[in-house]
A = this chain, B = another copy of it.
Amino acid sequence: MNSNKKDNPVSVLLNYFDRMIELSSEERELVTSKFHWRQYKKHQFILQEGDICRHFNFVLNGCLRIYKSTESGGIHILQFAVENWWINDINSFHKQKPSVLNIDAIEETEIFQITLDDLKDLYLKAPKFERIFRILVENAYFKLQERLLLNISSTAEDRYCYFCDTYPYLLQRLSQIQIAAYLGITPEFLSKIKKKSLLGGAS
C-alpha cells in the first residue's frame, strides 16, 4: 500500500516473523495493517513511568533502553533493544496499569508498534501469533535467567567480559555510563575494570 518510505519497512518485520513460522498472505496482510511505523528522536521517551505501556515495540534500527530510575537519581537498565529486538514493559502492557519503568531512545530510532487491542485481535484472527509471542517470551525469559545467574554468582569483571562477548556490537554504540547501569556497577568502577583487563590482556 503506501510504501513511500525508502524501502517498505514492514517487510523487515514480515521477514522476522517468517523466519520463525511461515506466514500466509492473510497473516502478512494482518501484520501490515496492525503494526504502525513510528520514529523517535534521541532522548525521546517511548514510555514514561506512571504512564501505561500502550504498545509492544519492534525496533527497525537505532537503539532503545528500558530502565528503572532510583530515588537517588541513578538508573538501572533492564535491556537495550537494537535492530530486530522487541521491547516493552510486559506487565504494564498486559494489565494496562501504570508502569514503574521508562523506555527512551539512545539513538534516533525507527520502530513498529502494536497496541494491546490490536494484538488481541491478531491472536484471534491468526492464532499462530500466540505461538510466536510465546516463543519470543520464552527466549527472553531464558536470557533473563542467564543474566540473573551471572549477577548472583559472578564479579563485575566477569559480567563485563560476558557482556563484551555476548553483545560486541553494542560496545561501540553505548557510552560507559549506559553499560555500567546495565551491569549494575558505577561508571568509575567500570573504568577501573577496563584498565585492569587491558593490562592483563596485552602482554
A residues lining the B interface (CB < 8 Å): 68, 70, 76, 78, 90-91, 94, 123, 127, 130-131, 133-134, 137-138, 140-142, 144-145, 147-149, 151-153, 184
Contact = CB atoms under 8 A, between A and B. Distances in A.
B138 A90 contact: yes
A142 B99 CA distance: 12
This chain: copies in complex: 2
B151 A148 contact: yes
A71 B130 CA distance: 40
Contacts of A142: 90-91
B145 A145 contact: no
Nearest to A67: B149
Contacts of A90: 138, 141-142, 145
13 contacts: A68-B149, A68-B153, A76-B152, A90-B138, A90-B145, A91-B142, A91-B145, A123-B131, A130-B130, A130-B134, A141-B144, A144-B144, A152-B184
B134 A78 contact: no
A144 to B, nearest CB: 5
Contacts of A151: 148, 151-152, 184
B94 A153 contact: no
A68 B153 CA distance: 10
A68 B148 CA distance: 11
Query: Could you say which of A133, A137, A184 has the most chain B C-beta atoms within 10 Å of its C-beta?
Result: A137
A140 B90 CA distance: 11
Nearest to A127: B127
Query: Could you say which of A70, A91, A152 has the most chain B C-beta atoms within 10 Å of its C-beta?
Result: A152
